[in-house]
Structure 1
């Protein structure tokens, strides 16, 4: 721990920039401990706090700007990739879409304070077509609040953090072993949960786009259900013809008040593993309705060359 503090005293700004860049680019390395150390250093070194704050804010803005550009150029493909490499991939796109639908641009202000939202918010803003100036302004505000809060907390509690570091220094390698074991246990638990959810998702009955389109042409009781998040600020550009929208954030009996009783529902989304569509189909079955899932969602339907209508 003495080596850590000595290195930070001599290369603190470099550590801040690298930690924030790596985390905001998607590496599973939290930068908050480094920002707390920057707050501790600012209590001991005059003028360090403002420089660390500026470095952290600009590093976050740079990394988020790259993801915004990727979202603008690649759309939902970059979102799906980010979700697949994350530890909890199956509902992250829907959760972030829902946040934008409820809060709009304010999502960029709170994103860095919400686990799972920080890395997805910038590319999602790009994919949704948010103007670059608007993104930069709101993301700059969110980055500044986040960096200021972490560095400010380190400055306010520098005495307690110093005492903790001295205690860990006395423990030596035992402290590192304990921290490593705790981290491995956490990652193992999340991976186990991921495997469990994936197995449950894979068991649910799905229809391919061609099969679903054939059913729609043969039978009059087929209703598609779109479960993607939407709002006046974030309308759906297109949908499967005749599809009804179901808000996963407001599932209650009233949601089905005017839905046909004898119909068979085919749910679809735009998320990895059809996670949101499966959740909706499970809920519909619990309400006594017949429901299946469109394999691959709206993207598979579009790639198959099947008809779409305005959202």
Structure 2
């Protein structure tokens, strides 16, 4: 704890910057510790808030610019390192494009969305000034909540010399334990998701063989569903041969869209197919048994050297108004 006190401001700035850069180590224990130490007048809450705002300004602005410049490709890279399968690209895109920059007011509280919101705001072409206003406001609310929670704890501890002594002696191990516990929880959830997914994935080569077999014997091809968000389609207007674009929520809500007698193949933006796997598992729970996610999504299909179709679609509406695009494959079923 003495080390933390001597370098408190550097630790706060560096830790928050690293977390906001996408490394899955939570910074809230550090902010609570900083708030607690402020009760003993070891540091100032106002300085801590300014450093947190600066760290988030640097990292979030960089993510915004990368998302605006590289779009889907950059989000796919982030998704590979995400431990939050249920808050990956498509889910985060839906939140940002449905609510606009307002989502930045609470994004730092939501694992997965915390990292994805800034680059998706750039991808969605939200004006930088508007993005920055909401992002800094959300950061201020997030940082203030944890710092003042720590200050409240510090005020309680000051009333007891015994508790104060324990805090000084054991503060650092407690912070480390909290960080390890949160990281372990996220990692275990991610591993459980992968275990549930094991055996369900369909390889690109298997799908190509299924298409070839169907064409050879004259039966219907697998029912291929493109689950990508409209802004991903805007950035990459290609799809699998014969694929239909159906938003994930519509596919789950309307069983009538799903032909029960055909094999159903889902693909999305995520290279680890989080969205398509999650929807496949939901559909299986609803009784749709012949549904599988495509390993690697569209990029995995391309990497295997298989053909893609161009998508014909109308011009995209403004980013903050995007809800769904009527997309028709060039060679649809």
Q: CA deviation at 1:17?
A: 2.0
**2:271 and 2:297 in contact (8 A); partners too:** no
Aligned to 2:224: 224
1:114 counterpart (110, 119, 124):
110
Give structure 2 stretches of 5+ with no counterpart. Answer: 314-326, 328-333
Aligned to 2:248: 247
Aligned to 1:296: 296
Is the partner of 2:115 in helix, strand or coil? coil
Aligned to 1:140: 136
Q: CA deviation at 1:271?
A: 1.2
TM-score by length of 1: 0.77
Question: Aligned equivalents of 1:301 and 1:133: distance in 2?
Answer: 38
**1:223 and 1:264 in contact (8 A); partners too:** yes
Is the partner of 2:126 in helix, strand or coil? coil
Question: Aligned equivalents of 2:208 and 2:300: distance in 1?
Answer: 10
Question: Aligned equivalents of 1:193 and 1:138: distance in 2?
Answer: 30
Q: CA deviation at 1:274?
A: 1.8
Stretch deviating more after TM superposition (78-87 or 160-169) = 160-169
Is the partner of 2:78 in helix, strand or coil? helix
1:11-26 equivalences under 5 Å are: 11-26=7-22
1:1-311 equivalences under 5 Å are: 1=1, 3-4=2-3, 6-7=5-6, 11-40=7-36, 42=38, 48-89=44-85, 92-162=88-158, 167=163, 169-170=165-166, 184=180, 187-188=183-184, 190-208=186-204, 210-211=208-209, 214=212, 219-220=219-220, 222-229=222-229, 236-237=233-234, 238=237, 239-240=239-240, 241=242, 243-248=244-249, 251-252=252-253, 255-285=254-284, 286-288=286-288, 290-301=290-301, 304-309=306-311, 310=313, 311=327
Question: Aligned equivalents of 1:178 and 1:51: distance in 2?
Answer: 23
Please give the per-residue CA displacement for 1:191-242, whole angstroms capped at 9, x wherever unaligned.
Answer: 4443333233231141416446646866445432223345xxx584245555
Is the partner of 2:106 in helix, strand or coil? helix
Distance 1:226 1:73, change over 3 A: same
Is the partner of 2:225 in helix, strand or coil? strand
Question: Aligned equivalents of 1:263 and 1:300: distance in 2?
Answer: 22
Distance 1:82 1:42, change over 3 A: same
Distance 1:107 1:302, change over 3 A: farther
Question: Aligned equivalents of 1:277 and 1:62: distance in 2?
Answer: 33
Q: CA deviation at 1:112?
A: 1.0
Question: Aligned equivalents of 2:38 and 2:180: distance in 1?
Answer: 32
TM-score by length of 2: 0.72
Is the partner of 1:298 in helix, strand or coil? helix
Please give the per-residue CA displacement for 1:251-309, whole angstroms capped at 9, x wherever unaligned.
Answer: 34xx1235445343221111132232233334444434633333321233456441131
**1:266 and 1:291 in contact (8 A); partners too:** yes
Give structure 1 stretches of 5+ with no counterpart. Answer: none
Question: Aligned equivalents of 1:78 and 1:138: distance in 2?
Answer: 22
The total of aligned residue pairs comes to: 302
**2:72 and 2:232 in contact (8 A); partners too:** no
Distance 1:112 1:189, change over 3 A: closer
Is the partner of 2:16 in helix, strand or coil? helix
Q: CA deviation at 1:149?
A: 2.5
Q: CA deviation at 1:189?
A: 5.2
Q: CA deviation at 1:187?
A: 4.4
Distance 1:186 1:242, change over 3 A: closer
Question: Aligned equivalents of 2:114 and 2:33: distance in 1?
Answer: 21
Question: Aligned equivalents of 2:143 and 2:174: distance in 1?
Answer: 28
Distance 1:166 1:102, change over 3 A: farther
Q: CA deviation at 1:56?
A: 1.6
